[in-house]
Structure 1
């Protein structure tokens, strides 16, 4: 299943819809304003919260967390000591790790688990600056979590490169 992220430029609180490949609204990203730390809610079309994305207040490297039902599901941060290209990792609460690699800055990257691609993030089909596709490869994958991880990586890269 493919999802299309079209962030609205200059939207108050960073609110936008993520649509599926048929143009149906699949997830809503609700940016919470007036918070001490950056917080986004990923909601299904009925408004139920699928995940809460937060920027960690204190960490050696910029880190974002994805929470579900009050528990941290995954932490996303840049991997150290990768000189040729950016590599991020998503550490699951279970201790397992997902790797995010590719052309992160230009939004052409994969989310992998033990060498198997779970999702492909790409904006090569879009002319708009803030639009990209998230292709979830497996039917049994947690699409909400993979989308939340992609949003975390996007935010961390934008902050690092001064685009926020």
Structure 2
């Protein structure tokens, strides 16, 4: 299923809707303004439930963000891969509660043309070229994948890349 996300969702205190490709509200990215560290909550539109909390990791050698369940269970840590040959890569290290392992994120992050792979299988594709809406890009999540987790990872990559390049 394809989702549409606005570029540059870094304003803490700013809220942003992730919609379906048909324009229906799906998730709210709620930027929390009065927190010690940069924090977003991903809320399900239909239930209002917080499905993920995305936080900037505080004490880290390199910038990283963590994705947690609403009640504090760790899901993933997203950070830039240090050694890459041809282009930038990010890595999401997954907790055992979501299957463990890693998701590799590869592509052109500035232009929002990248994909997420797990065990050599493409599980989501991010592309700005699918929609003509200015300042938005699409995230196509493969069937059967954890939509909130992958959308949260995309928010992390967007935020980390913007911090590095702006």
**Alignment TM-score, normalising by the size of structure 2:** 0.90
Cα deviation, 1:46-77, whole Å, max 9, x if unaligned, reads: 31001000000110010000001311100000
Q: Which runs of 5+ in 1 are unaligned?
A: none
Tell me the SS of whatever aligns to 1:13: coil
Q: Which runs of 5+ in 2 are unaligned?
A: none
CA distance in 1, matches of 2:55, 2:110: 21
Residue matched to 1:135? 140
Contact preservation (8 Å) 1:8, 1:15: no
Residue matched to 2:93? 91
Residue matched to 2:43? 43
CA distance in 1, matches of 2:13, 2:32: 6
**Alignment TM-score, normalising by the size of structure 1:** 0.91
C-alpha change, 1:21 and 1:115, in structure 2 (3 Å) is: same
Contact preservation (8 Å) 1:8, 1:14: no
Contact preservation (8 Å) 2:9, 2:159: no
Moved over 3 A (4+): 7-12, 125-129
CA distance in 1, matches of 2:130, 2:153: 21
Contact preservation (8 Å) 1:66, 1:75: yes
Residue matched to 2:114? 109
